[in-house]
Structure 1
Amino acid sequence: MNFRHAVMPEIKQLSELTATAFNDYALYQKTIRQTFRHEAAYQQFMQRLHDVHIATNVHQQKVFIVEEKNKILAIVILEADTLPKTTLWQYIKNGGLKMLPYFFHNNLAQFLALLDEAEKLPQQQSQANWHVNLLAVNPDNQGQHIGSRTLTDFIIPYVKSKGAQSLSLITNTQRNVTFYQKNNFKITDERTLDFKGQQVKNWSLVQMLAD
Structure 2
Amino acid sequence: MGIEFGVLKREELSDAVELSFRAYEYYEYFLNFFPDLGLRHKVIRSVLYGTWRAVMQKSHFLTVKIDGKIVGLAVLEDPHYKRPSDLQFLLHGWWNVYFSAGIKRVNAWVNMDETAGTPCHDYQHNGENIWYCSSLTVDPPFQGKGVGTQLVAFMEEYIREHGGKQLTLFTNSEKNLAFYKNRKFEVFDKRDIAIRDGLKMKSWSVKKTL
TM-score by length of 2: 0.89
Q: Tell me the residue number matched to 1:79.
A: 77
State the Cα distance separating 1:155 from its structure 2 match: 0.5
One-letter amino acid of the counterpart of residue 110, structure 2:
L
Match of 2:174 in 1: 174
CA-to-aligned-CA distance 1:110-134 (integer Å, 9 cap, x gap): 1111101111211222131101110
Amino acid at match of 2:129: A
Aligned mates of 1:56, 1:139 — CA distance in 2:
26
Q: Give the drift of 1:106.
A: 5.5
Matched, 1:23 2:21: no
**Aligned partner of 2:10: which letter?**
M
CA distance in 2, matches of 1:124, 1:187: 15
Deviation for aligned residue 1:149 = 0.8
Taking the aligned partners of 2:17 and 2:104, their CA distance within structure 1 comes to 20
CA RMSD of aligned residues (A): 1.7
1:7 and 1:58 in contact (8 A); partners too: no
Range moving further from structure 2, 177-186 or 92-101? 92-101
SS for the counterpart of 1:85 is coil
Consecutive unaligned residues of structure 1, counting only runs of 5 or more, are none
- Give the whole-Å Cα distance in 1 for the aligned partners of 2:5 and 2:87: 29
Q: Separation in 1 of the partners of 2:101 and 2:140? A: 29
Q: Given that residues 129 and 166 in structure 1 are in contact (C-alpha distance below 8 angstroms), is that contact kept between their aligned partners in structure 2?
A: yes
Q: Say if 2:4 and 2:66, in contact at 8 Å, map to a contact too.
A: yes
Residue in structure 1 matched with residue 67 of structure 2 by the alignment: 69
Q: Which moved more, 1:161-170 or 1:4-13?
A: 4-13
For residues 43-71 of structure 1, the C-alpha deviation after alignment (integer angstroms, 9 at most, x for no partner) is: 12221111112222323342221113211
SS at match of 1:191: strand
- Cα deviation per residue 1:133-168 (whole Å; 9 max; x = unaligned)? 10000112111111111111x100111112112111
Q: Which runs of 4+ in 1 moved over 4 A?
A: none
Q: Does 2:61 align with 1:60?
A: no
Gaps of 5+ in 2: none
| Corresponding position of 1:111 | 109
Q: Which secondary structure does the structure 1 equivalent of 2:56 belong to? A: helix
Tell me by how many angstroms 1:18 deviates.
0.9
Alignment-mate amino acid for residue 54 of structure 1: W
Counting aligned pairs with the same residue, the percent is: 19
